[in-house]
Structures are given as C-alpha cells and as structure tokens.
Amino acid sequence: MKLKPFAFAVLALMCSAVHAEGLSPTEQKIVAEVKAHSAQGLELLERSVNINSGTMNHDGVRAVGKLFGEQFSALGFTTRWSEMPAAMQRAGHLIATREGKQGKRLLLIGHLDTVFEKDSAVQLWQRNGDRVRGQGVNDMKGGDVIIIEALRALHRIGALDNTSITVVFSGDEENAGDPIEVSRADMVNAAKRSDIALAFEATVRNKDGKDTGTIGRRASSSWELKVNGKQGHSSGIFTENAGYGAIYEAARIVDGFRQQVIEPDLTFSPGLIIGGTEATTNALGTVGQVAGKSNVISRTATVEGDLRYLSYEQRDRAHAKMKAIVAQNLPGTSASITFHDAYPPMSPTPGNLAVLKVYSQASKDAGLGEIPALPPGQRGAGDVQFVAPLLDSLDGLGATGNGAHSPDEDLEIASIERATIRTAILLYRLTR
C-alpha cells in the first residue's frame, strides 16, 4: 500500500506542530537511552567490521548476519536467513520482522556485505581518536548499527510494542545477484506490506556542511553500441566505395551523445571501447580482445557504457535521442544500440519529501539541526531503489564518513549517536 503523498504531508505538518517546542518526555527518555548505550553501539560496530564480509565471502556475510540477527532476536523480532539459489553465488539476506497494529508499517533497509573481499589488504578496524577506519565502517555497517541501536532504545522504554517493522539486510548490495527479480524478491515483498521505507546508507553532507537526507537516487543501467564498417585498404577511406570505417562511426556516435543528449541529472559514460578488423568483448562487457592494422579500415567496433537517470521519462528521452544519433550513419557503416536496466530510479516525490520533513523535525527537536534534501543527482544506485516505486522512501540515514569503497574508508564516531537519536525519534513518531 503506497501512502498518498498529500496524506503523509498532513501527517508531517501535524508532527511538526506537536513537537515544535522540542521533545516529549517519552522522547527525552529515548534520547537518554541512546546516549547511555553509545559505547555498546560502537562495540557492536567493531565486532561486525572485524568480520570480513566481501560480497563473495559467503561465510563472512552469514557471520555478520548471525551477529546482527542475534540483536534483533533480543529485541523481540522474528528473524530468518533467506538463502539464494546456489547458481546465483550469493550468501542470502537477513530478514527480521515484528507485527503490530499501531502507526505506520515500516521497512528498514541495510546491507551486510562490503566491497572488500577476503583477500583485501585494507585493515579491518583501526581507531584514530574520534574517527574509525576499516572495511565497510560507513558503507554500511555503521548504518546497520544505527538501525539496531535506535530499535534497542525504543525497546528499553517499551515503545516497540504493537508496532509493525520489517528489517531487510541484504547480503549482496555491492554486487547484486542475478536475476535481480530473485535477489530482491524479499525486499520487494516486504515493501508491499509496508507504508514507508527507510534506508541507512551513509549520510552525505552538503556544501554547507549540513547532514542531508536522500529523497532521490538515479537509476543504474547500461548500453552497448555495435558498429560495422567495410574492411579495406586505408588509402580508400572516406571514398564512396570504402566509407568511413567502424571506428570513425563509433567516435561520431559517442561524440553525438555528448553534444545532444545532456540534461540535468542524466549521465551516459562510455567505459570501454574497442575497434579494428576484429573486436570482441566478454559476456559482461568488461574485457575486450582486438586486432587491426594501421593500413586497414576498421570493420567492427564496440562501446560499452553506463546510463543513469532520475525518472523513466528521462530514460525514455535519452533512449530516443541516442537511437536517433545511432541511426544517422556515416557512409559505408551501420550501427545498433541496446539498453539494459538494472537499478530502477528513486524519483524525488512529494511523499519522499514529506518523510524527510518528519525526519528533519525530529533532528531539530533533538537539537541536531535541520536536515535538507541532498540533490538527487549526487548519489549512485542503492537497494532502496527497488522499493521506492512502491512506497514513500528516504535514504541517507546512516553514519557520516569519507572514502567509501577505498582503503581510506572511515567514519566519524559521533555520527553514530547523532543518527541513532534522529532515527529513534523518527521511528517513534511514525509508529504512534
């Protein structure tokens, strides 16, 4: 059931009016619980980070799932491990649920895996004063811990009673299993039983240094361009009989994209290009093999690219323009382009903005400042996008850090407590 944006906007205004003077006595108790147990949250984060859980380290992913599953069980959730078919070569997902009849039905999204595989030389955990470096500290084990600690604070004061909350921690967010319809089935099914989705990828700060909320994320998709020319002696190039060759035609098309397709929040990046008398790529389009000579007109060329968009309407415009450019062939050449969708867009909707308003009000009431929206074009793809078309959603509720996916990935320790306080108050208000 998708919550109507207008109805939720009214709820947001009501929450704002009720709490304009600050936190209620119950909410003050929630904040006190978070602060009293911040050290426990950091210890849980350290335990999880010290388990390597690269996407393809299935044992490690399951071990982190077991650690977090024990936390949810202690909070009264029913937990299960959702196995993926063996052919998919993915570890599976942790699902935790509790059923009630009070307030909004919430879906909380995190992930267990990191980009650092078992043979990674990146340190697991290294504390440096008020910051921590390590594998997945902010992407996104920090966000997972924020979910758990916010729920723990609510549990301690009895505020989880009679609430409906589903938690899905996927085991392959960094490299989603194929087919997507199978690897994200649990998440999509949970969304169909929920009213609002909250995802805990890292909090991004804007140019003014403020923590933000994510109301939109661009889709992730790909394209493949295939070009054919007439092989022949290079001295005849540009003539009517010989034509221009495949490489010139590929260059014309790619530069046509650059000149004619650009619009805000839309990107299309050619990541691999090969051309010659023979040119082939592997099934994934990540490795090429090519042969040719400087005195031979190129017979074939292939370009593999990435396409990111904020709405299906924007995607369709881009596809139409790109196809039109591909069809305007130079003499002696032909070309075709195919597209493959992967992550759907999380379009910025009034409903998403309304959820952000409630979150921002919770932050202001707790003395942590306003939370503005992050420009949607500034985030890549994430799990929330598989459910955003079904219900109002908000992402970026996790920890604050730098260098995600790099050896320098780190986390600001204080951001765990800040985000946990905001989250706990948000969950409390939504489930009343």
Q: What is the pLDDT along the chain (432 residues), one digit of tens a residue?
A: 444 554 454 454 445 444 445 999 999 999 999 999 999 999 999 999 999 999 999 999 999 999 999 999 999 999 999 999 999 999 999 999 999 999 999 999 999 999 999 999 999 999 999 999 999 999 999 999 999 999 999 999 999 999 999 999 999 999 999 999 999 999 999 999 999 999 999 999 999 999 999 999 999 999 999 999 999 999 999 999 999 999 999 999 999 999 999 999 999 999 999 999 999 988 878 898 999 999 999 999 999 999 999 999 999 999 999 999 999 999 999 999 999 999 999 999 999 999 999 999 999 999 999 999 999 888 888 999 999 999 999 999 999 999 999 999 999 999 999 999 999 999 999 999
25-217+346-431 with 219-343: one CATH topology?
A: no
Q: Name the nearest CA neighbour of 396 among 345, 350, 343, 352.
A: 352
The CATH code for residues 219-343 is: 3.30.70.360
Q: 3-state DSSP call for residue 163?
A: strand
CB neighbour class for 419 (10 Å; exposed up to 12, middle 13-18, buried from 19): buried
pLDDT tens for each residue of 32-65: 999 999 999 999 999 999 999 999 999 999 999 9
Count other Cβ atoms within 10 Å, centred on residue 329.
17
Dist CA 382 CA 343 (whole Å):
8
Write phi, then psi, for 204 (nearest 5 degrees): -105, 135
To the nearest 5 percent, what fractions of the chain are helix, strand and coil?
40, 25, 35
pLDDT tens for each residue of 116-141: 999 999 999 999 999 999 999 999 99
25-217+346-431 CATH choice from 3.40.640.10, 3.30.2020.30, 3.30.413.10, 3.40.630.10 = 3.40.630.10
Q: Give me the residue spans of the domains in the chain.
A: 25-217+346-431, 219-343
Task: Name, in order, each residue with C-beta under 8 angstroms of 113's C-beta and a sequence gap of 6 or more.
Answer: 53, 54, 55, 61, 91, 136, 170, 171, 172, 173, 174, 175
Structure tokens at 367: 């003395």
Is-above-0.85 flag for pTM? yes
